[in-house]
Amino acid sequence: MTINFSKRDIWRGLNTVLLATTVGLLLWSQPWQGEVSQKRTISTSGEGTVSAEADEFTFNPSYDFKGDTSDDVIAAATNKADEVTKGLEALGIEDNDITVDASSYENWYTDEEEDIVRSNLYMQIVVDDKDKAQEVQDYLLTTSPAGSLTPTPGFSDSKQKELAAEARKLAIEDARTKADQSATELGLKVGKALTVEETENYGGYPIAYATLDSASSSETKSLPIRTGEQDYTINVNVTYEVK
């Protein structure tokens, strides 16, 4: 039996063999691995800090109740929550900015020493204006809360994004400056950034507040809220290619 191969069939066969051989050599030698392993890098850290006044204030007033039965304290807590909520809404605070921890006063307990039932009510109020926060603090002082009325200052989501962008830019510039200095000392030149890792933080700061120890609950004015400025910091670790 005679088998005839055309020139086209022969070329196809040769091309297939060459392609398979080339792919096999590439998989065996992995030249791209050699390129990565030979890439020289330098890693530096950078820090960027910006300062701004708080634009959000969070109050966390609490109230204590005691009575002869659990129904008594739950009713008292419920009435107080309604009373405070209505008072805040009258000041222009939106309902979705007021949180009442219902489980706090439903978890009543018996004080065996005094033979009474006790319960606690916890609320959270978020205010996005310092003048309005002052009004809220003045009002809360009249509601006979337990403990401090200190609002926690902070930044709103939009403000945080704005500050983060500014701080990140400063941090990366700081890291690049350090990388250039180190590379120059080694006789190298910094190339593109390969990886960037970052962490962010901002700390609170003390502001004026009113407590039941320093001001009577019958007073209608609390100490003024003075926020000052708060730092917002971003730290980065950047790895650069060097040549």
How confident is the model over 62-108, as pLDDT tens digits?
Answer: 999 988 888 888 899 999 999 999 999 999 999 999 999 866 556 66
* Residue 15 placed within a domain: no
Which has more pLDDT, 172 or 67?
A: 172
Average pLDDT in the 169-173 region?
Answer: 97
Q: Which of 60, 46, 52 is nearest to 205 (CA)?
A: 52
How many domains is the chain built from? 2
* Residue 30 placed within a domain: no
Q: Identify the domain containing residue 122 by its residue range.
A: 55-154+215-223
The share of the chain scoring above pLDDT 90, in percent, equals 55
Q: Do 63 and 150 sit in the same domain of this protein?
A: yes
Residue 191 is part of a domain; what is its CATH number? 3.30.110.170
Q: Do 42 and 113 sit in the same domain of this protein?
A: no
Does 11 score more than 80 pLDDT? no
Average pLDDT in the 153-159 region?
Answer: 92
Q: Do 122 and 219 sit in the same domain of this protein?
A: yes
- CB-based contacts of 59, cutoff 8 Å, min separation 6: 123, 124, 125, 126, 127, 133, 136, 137, 140, 149, 151, 152
Q: Do 103 and 63 sit in the same domain of this protein?
A: yes
Which has more pLDDT, 104 or 53?
A: 53
Does 12 score more than 90 pLDDT? no
Please tell me whether residue 110 adopts helix, strand or coil conformation: strand
